[in-house]
Amino acid sequence: MFIDLLIFAATGVVAGVMAGLFGVGGGLTIVPILAVVMPRLGVPTEVVMQVAIGTSLGVIGFTSLSSARAHQRRGSVNWRVLSSLAPGLMLGAVIGAQVADLLSGAALRNIVGFGALAIAAQMALVTPKPVAADAKPPSRAELGIAGTVIGAAAALIGIGGGSLNVPYLNLRGVPIHQAVGTSAAAGIPIAWAGALGFVWAGWGTVGVPAPALGYLSLPALAGIGVFSVLTAPIGVRLAHAASPQTLKRAFALLLVGIGLYLLLGQH
C-alpha cells in the first residue's frame, strides 16, 4: 500500500507540474500514467481505462475548483454562458461515462489516443480570434447542444474540457480571456458529473481494488489530487520563464507523444 501511495504521489507531481506549466487540468497526463500503473496494482485489464478515466475526472473535480476561483477573481467567467452550457456539460458527461462502461479497454485507449492527437492539432493550428465589441454569445439552445457534445467527449477522454470549450467559445464570439475563464469553471460540472457517472457505471464491478467507488480508485484520487494541487505552482513558475508560443508547441508535442503511445503501445 505504501508503494502504491508513492506511485500516486509521483503521478500527482507530474500532473500538477504539467497543469501549471501548460494551463490544463492534467487529465491527459493522469490518464496515460494510470493506464500504465493500474495493471501493476491489480486492476483487471478489461477495466484499466475506465478506472484511469474515472479517477482522472475525480481529480479534476477538485483541481478545477481552485482554477475557477482564480479566474472568477479576475472577472473572466461569463456566468450567462456558463449557466447555459452547464446542463448540457453534465448530461454529456454522464452519457460519456455510460458509453465508456460499454466499451472495451482497447477501444477506450484508442479514443484517448486519438483525442490527444486531435487536441495537439487544435493547439498547433488554431489561434485565438479577435472578437468584435458588439459580438453576441451563442444562444442558450446552441450552448445546451454544444455542452452535451463537449461533456460526452471530455468524459470519454478523461479531461476537464478546456481544450474543447475554449476554441468553441472563442469561435462563437466569446473574447478569449472570457473563453478561458468560463472554460475553467465549466470543468467543474464536467468533472463532477463525469466522476459520478463513472461511480454509477462501475458500481459492483469485480476486480477494482478497494477502497473504491465504482471506477474511482480512492487512494489514487487522494494521492494524485493532493500532490497535483501542491505542485501546480511549480509549473506556473516555470511557465513564466518561457514564451506562450514555446509552451503551446511543447504541450502539443507532449500530446503527440501521449497519443502515439496509447495508439501504438501494448494493449
Q: Can you give the C-alpha Rg of the chain in angstroms?
A: 17
The residues, any chain, with a CB within 8 Å of residue 196's CB and separated by 6 or more, are 94, 97
- The model's pLDDT over 131-165, given as tens digits with 9 standing for 90+, comes to 766 778 789 999 999 999 999 999 999 988 888 88
Q: Is the pLDDT of residue 23 over 60?
A: no
More confident residue, 160 or 18: 160
The residues, any chain, with a CB within 8 Å of residue 98's CB and separated by 6 or more, are 197, 200, 201
- The model's pLDDT over 183-235, given as tens digits with 9 standing for 90+, comes to 888 989 999 999 999 999 999 888 788 899 999 999 999 999 899 888 877 87
C-beta atoms surrounding 199 within 10 Å:
18
Q: How far is residue 212's CA from residue 173's CA, in Å, rounded to a whole number?
A: 42
CA distances from 29 to 33, 78, 85, 88, 143 (A): 6, 28, 26, 25, 28
Place of cell 445546451: 144
Q: Is the pLDDT of residue 88 over 70?
A: yes
Give this prediction's pTM: 0.88
